[in-house]
Amino acid sequence: MYLLGGRRIQPVDIFDPKTQTWTHGKTPPMEVHHFQPIVWDHRIYLAGAMTGKYPRETAVDRILIYDPRIDQWSWGAEIPADRRRGGAGVVVHDDSLYMVCGIRGGHWDGWVPWLDRLDLKTGAWEQLPDAPRVRDHFQSVLIDNKIYAAGGRKTSGITKQVFDLTIPEVDVYDLKDGTWSTLPVESNLPTPRAGCFAFRMGDELLIAGGESQQPTAHDRIEALDTKSGKWRVMSVFSQGRHGTGIGQYEDMLYTAGGAGSRGGRWELDSTELLILPAK
């Protein structure tokens, strides 16, 4: 498992769940943060990312790629100048990368509902229909040929509402039909928050951690049954955190790093493990 990016230029942290040990990989060529990584062709792609200092970070103009097999960074496709943003959701499907929503002005303004597709084999971009609403600081998940956008907010430093405008609605893009829809209000995210991280487990969409107006990071993992549209509390972290992710190894879920408070001042170096119940 790989921890990449974050504030400042830091090496890749590599966790081996078999030995329960950490090692380091190569540092990226620049500071890169506020992205959702995807894996394609054995490499890790960072798209829809930011760089620079709060609150007016800039969007990274290209896709940054890390190859764990040789511990090397490289640059991928350029993102069109008029579609660049950070804090976007990203998924991969059928050799295509999909970049959902995001914000152009760091934590200041420039929220967009855009959906873009990158053909990872040809490097060609395509603009797809806009999402029903803007959102940033969230992660997307692909389940049954549908892209789920849940959590996030409209980060508005320009109006002094950086943490306030969280989004409860869940928007879904059907890759077969090429259309967006919004789940019924009964399927809204029970605990609206941003900086949360998303994960698929079977037919469930997991939204974990996050930040909002409360001073500490959220500790709940809430799971949406995409068949019934009902949420449940799947688990609770020992330490609330935001701005990281979840990885699975065998019957275990792992999370590491992130921040324990609203904003990025209380950075965490802890690792947590959840053993899943037997099927």
| Rounded Cα–Cα distance for residues 16 and 159 (Å) | 44
From residue 152, alpha-carbon distances to 1, 140, 174, 209, 265 in Å are: 24, 10, 20, 11, 19
Q: What is the pLDDT of residue 49?
A: 98
- For residue 215, give every residue at least 6 positions away whose Cβ sits within 8 Å of its Cβ, in sequence order, or none: 261, 262
Amino acid at 10: Q
Q: What is the pLDDT of residue 264?
A: 85
> Quick count: other Cβ atoms within 10 Å of Cβ 197?
22
Count other Cβ atoms within 10 Å, centred on residue 3.
21
Copy the structure tokens of residue 234. Answer: 């799947």
Q: Under 8 Å CB-to-CB from 279, ≥6 apart: which residues?
A: none
196 within 8 A of 210, measured Cβ to Cβ = yes
Task: Pull the structure tokens for residue 185.
Answer: 């209000």
Q: Whole-angstrom Cα distance, residue 51 to residue 241?
A: 21
Strand partners, 14: 2, 23
pLDDT value of position 267 = 96
Residue count of the chain: 279
Which position has the token pair 């209380």? 266
Give the chain's end-to-end CA distance (angstroms, integer): 24
Q: Is 88 within 8 Å of 37 (Cβ atoms)?
A: no
- Using CA atoms, how far residue 153 sits from 63, 80, 165, in Å, is 23, 24, 5
Residue 209 belongs to domain with CATH number: 2.120.10.80
Render each residue's pLDDT in the chain as its tens digit; 279 residues.
999 999 999 999 999 999 999 999 999 999 999 999 999 999 999 999 999 999 999 999 999 999 999 999 999 999 999 999 999 999 999 999 999 999 999 999 999 999 999 999 999 999 999 999 999 999 999 999 999 999 999 999 999 999 999 999 999 999 999 999 999 999 999 999 999 999 999 999 999 999 999 999 999 999 999 999 999 999 999 999 999 999 999 999 999 999 999 998 899 999 999 999 987
Whether the CB-CB separation of 36 and 139 falls below 8 Å is answered with yes
If one counts the domains in the chain, the total is 1
Question: What is the pTM assigned to this prediction?
Answer: 0.97
On whether the CB atoms of residues 42 and 67 are closer than 8 A, the answer is: yes
- Domain containing residue 61: 2-275
Per-residue pLDDT tens over the stretch 85-140: 999 999 999 999 999 999 999 999 999 999 999 999 999 999 999 999 999 999 99
